[in-house]
Amino acid sequence: MEFELSFVWAMIIAFVVLTYVILDGFDLGIGILFPFADSEQDKSVMMNSIAPVWDGNETWLVMGGGGLFAVFPLAYAVIMPALYMPIIIMLLALIFRGVAFEYRWRTDRWKPVWDFAFFGGSITAAFMQGIALGALVQGIKIADRAYAGGWWDWLSPFSILTGCAVVVGYSLLGSTWLIIKTEGGIQVKMRGLANTLLMSIIYRIKKTQRGTAIFGFIEHFCA
């Protein structure tokens, strides 16, 4: 059985994006959960848990974008103009988050500022990724093999809802990472947060028409 090279590359890019969501998802999730830390020690533990891997996890995003540009230039030329604003905001948030991660350890006076920057960069990056996903799912206007929509077409109630969903999902990934990597009070607190986040995700899925059908099938199959 033969596969077209474009299909193979599409699978590779899909794998890269999925890997980024999983790996950098818990990184961003820890930043989103930063305000829930009870003490400076807990914040340090949270950041230390991702210190060896956080920058490497973001490499998958570069690979995904570079792969799309190199292999599917037409798709890249259509998608980028449609999502310039959320992508630029996301990249700036990731840069700001990385700077906050490095400089937090080098000062005591400005530590609260860098803590807020770490949280703000994480939640903004996650939200913008959800916005971009929602804009892609709801569709992009194309005419003559080029983007034909407006500057604000990416912003809609659906994309905002998708952005919030990604924030919740990344928070769940971050809490489960901390459950694995920590112990004591912070682990107990993150276990409670993980349960709450998981229940909220399941509840929202069940409220959708397709989610209701899926859960109905599962209940019928398990009965």
pLDDT band at 65 (very low <50, low <70, confident <90, very high): confident
Instruction: Inform me whether the pLDDT recorded for 21 exceeds 60.
Output: yes
pLDDT, one tens digit per residue, over 27-53 is 889 989 988 888 888 888 888 888 888
State the residue for tokens 């996890």.
Answer: 57
Q: How far apart, in whole angstroms, are the C-alpha atoms of residue 185 and residue 189?
A: 6
What backbone phi and psi angles, to 5 degrees, belong to 132? -65, -40
Report CA dihedral (165, 30, 200, 137) to the nearest 10 degrees.
Answer: 20
Percentage of the chain with pLDDT > 90? Answer: 15
| C-alpha to C-alpha distance for 68 and 47, rounded to whole angstroms | 31
Its sign, for the CA torsion 175, 211, 155, 153, is positive
pTM to 2 decimals? 0.85
Q: Judge contact between 131 and 86, C-beta under 8 A.
A: yes
Which has the higher per-residue pLDDT, 222 or 206?
206
**In a 3-state reduction of DSSP, which class is residue 178?**
helix
Q: Where are the domains of the chain?
A: 5-222
DSSP at 51 = T
Higher-pLDDT residue of 35, 216: 35
Taking the C-alpha atoms of residue 117 and residue 78, their distance in angstroms, rounded to an integer, is: 32
Helix (H, G, I), strand (E, B) or coil at 146: strand
Both tokens of residue 145? 């093999």
Q: Using a pLDDT cut of 70, give the percent of the chain over it.
A: 91
pLDDT of residue 217: 45
Give the integer Cα–Cα distance in Å for 70 and 169.
30
Burial 164-181 (b: 16+ CB within 10 A, else e): bbbbbbbbbbbbbbbbeb
Q: How far apart are CA 55 and CA 91, in angstroms?
A: 13
Residue whose pair of structure tokens reads 């990249």 in the numeric block: 91
